[in-house]
Amino acid sequence: MSDLTLTAKSLTSEHRRRRRIVNWAMEGLATLAALAAVALLVIVVGSVAKRGAGALDLDFFTKTPSFLGFGEQKSGIANAIVGTFIIVGLAVLMALPAGVLAAIYLNEFAPKRVASALTVAFDVLNGVPAIVIGIFVFVFLVAGHGQSGIKGAFALAILMLPLVTRSTQEVLALVPNAVREASLALGAPRWRTTLNVVVPMAVGGIITGATLATARVAGETAPLLFTSSLAGNTVSWNPSDPLASIPFFIFTSAEQADPSLQEQAWGAALVLITFVLVASIIARAFGLRSRRRLTGGR
């Protein structure tokens, strides 16, 4: 007890100086770590922009690669852009409904034990490396049947599923129980309560999670390596053909000796980063809107 006695000495002792130094040091370290993360982002985006900006022009977006011309002829990545949008779009179509429904089941219907067991399962799936999922799809769908965009989309959808499910689950858990009870007390069955009250309240957050998951898988290369890499150099809209994709274009072009192709790889990287950045900003906007809905604009 005597240590805690308040004396004039304890108020002015050298401990106070030490505390201030420790406090200052800790605050400094934390700030530094935060700044380092931001600095990394700036360096990555900056260097990609610096090296890739030169490749960007109208041709880059509208023409297809021509490896024959050896740099003399301007070429572009139109086929990769189209391919990525088709593959990622199909992946979203597969993973979004499945993921949202799974989250609804886990959060609204499943008994507690089942829910926590399945949540762990989704976390494990989330931790499976992308290349393993690529090989899995290769073994079961591609080997003997050939590659296609839709198989690539399936591989990406497997990656997306746990991301969508877990983020949706988190948003659904934010919906206050009082609102569910209000709906049930009015004689609404459970599924209508979920459909008419819970999901509308959470929709902004669900879209945020889905958008971030989309941005995340749009840059995946490994799953496409086995499933949709043998694409032609022309624009194809047919998902049952192997489709070109931006990540795979970066992967192959960056290894080429031709400096103009390397510049194109940087350009494609810039396009991809911009896509992810824009998607994240959109996701943020939806997230804000959703939070305002949940708190009544206050």
- Asked if 91 and 160 touch (Cβ cutoff 8 Å), the reply is yes
Print the binding letters for residues 179-198 with another protein: x by CB under 8 A, - otherwise: xxxxxxxxxxx--x---xx-
**Least Cβ distance, residue 165 to another protein (angstroms):** 22
Interface of this chain with another protein, residues 275 to 294, rule: CB under 8 A: 293-294
144 part of the interface to another protein, by CB under 8 A: no
Pick the closer one to another protein by CB: 203 or 285: 203
Q: Which two tokens stand for residue 69?
A: 């011309």
Pick the closer one to another protein by CB: 111 or 144: 111
Residue from 176, 230, 232, 288 touching another protein (CB under 8 A): that is 176
Pick the closer one to another protein by CB: 7 or 295: 295
Q: Which two tokens stand for residue 10?
A: 């304890």
Distance CA 70, CA 254 (A): 15
Pick the closer one to another protein by CB: 191 or 237: 191
- Asked if 99 and 160 touch (Cβ cutoff 8 Å), the reply is yes
Interface of this chain with another protein, residues 67 to 106, rule: CB under 8 A: none
Distance CA 197, CA 108 (A): 12
Using only C-alpha atoms, the chain has a radius of gyration, in whole angstroms, of: 25
Distance CA 38, CA 119 (A): 32
Residue from 2, 6, 72, 111 touching another protein (CB under 8 A): that is 111
Pick the closer one to another protein by CB: 124 or 186: 186
Residues in contact with another protein, counted by CB under 8 A, come to a total of 26
Distance CA 298, CA 75 (A): 52
Provide the residue type at 35 as one letter.
L
Per CB under 8 A, the segment of 13-21, 143-151, 176-184, 269-277 that binds another protein is 176-184
In which region does residue 188 sit, left (phi positive, over 0), alpha (psi from -120 to 50) or beta (all else)? beta
Pick the closer one to another protein by CB: 116 or 238: 116
Distance CA 223, CA 214 (A): 14
**Contact footprint for another protein (CB under 8 A):** 111-112, 176, 178-189, 192, 196-197, 200-201, 293-298
